[in-house]
Amino acid sequence: MVNILNMSNKKICIKLCLLFLLLSCEEEIKLSFSEITPTTVNNTIVEVNIPEAIGIDETADSINTKIHKHVIESLHIGNTGEISSTSIEESVALFNEEFKTFKLDFPETNEIWEAQIDGDVMFLSSEIVSIAITTYKNTGGAHGNLNISILNFDAQSGKKISNEDLFTDFKQFQNIAQTQFDRKFKEQDLFFENSPFQLSNNIGYTQEGILLLYNTYEIAPYSSGTIELTIPFNLLKSVLAFNRF
């Protein structure tokens, strides 16, 4: 005689397994990245190496559009409200043309302009991707300008994530960050020039934890360079808005 109860249990188990597999598939990382190096034929002073998202078309397109926009803005000379470039290649060409104009205006100068932009995927999970874009630009002067920007994206939609939306309780995160910052830099009282603690504009996920990155001049003199603080994930379990797996 067939055991109806056992058959029913087996059906339930099969359904649960299928549900588990379905949920697991939904959590798979659907994005990957390759590196691209957009340039122009006559370019001699600009180098761009950035990640390009590959995967679901809408998601990848959204991420790539925002990365390209950032590069275009970084290469622009002058007011960002006057940007006319619609592609990185066009921005590279314009940067070269600006240098040629500069040399015509100041033929006696030996200064050489240069720009290098490198992008790196710091973190990628099924829910979030954090990308660091390092820009070095020298258009004359005592030294060039180095700037690192962290861009966070929803790995499912490709939408950019604000710093506030990285956490379920932004105020609590700020309190944790201040405690960790004071602990690491307690003997370096030049930071913030005696003003209250402030979070960095550049916050992102890494394999080790949440990174706060302060660019040169943000909170300390030029000689201090870039200031970094990584807060381990185990200290932030209660406030993380995104799954890091």
pLDDT in tens, 135-181: 999 998 777 899 999 999 999 999 999 999 999 999 999 999 999 99
Position with higher pLDDT, 203 vs 191: 203
Q: Are strands 114-124 and 46-54 parallel, antiparallel or unpaired?
A: parallel
Q: What is the pLDDT of residues 41-85, one digit of tens each?
A: 999 999 999 999 998 899 999 999 999 999 999 999 988 788 999
Would the CA dihedral through 182, 183, 184, 188 be positive or negative? Answer: positive
Which of 169, 174, 178 has the alpha carbon at shortest distance from 240?
169
Rg (alpha carbons) of the chain, rounded to whole number: 24
- Domains in the chain, ordered, with CATH? 26-161 (3.30.565.40), 163-245 (3.90.640.20)
Position 24 scores a pLDDT of 42
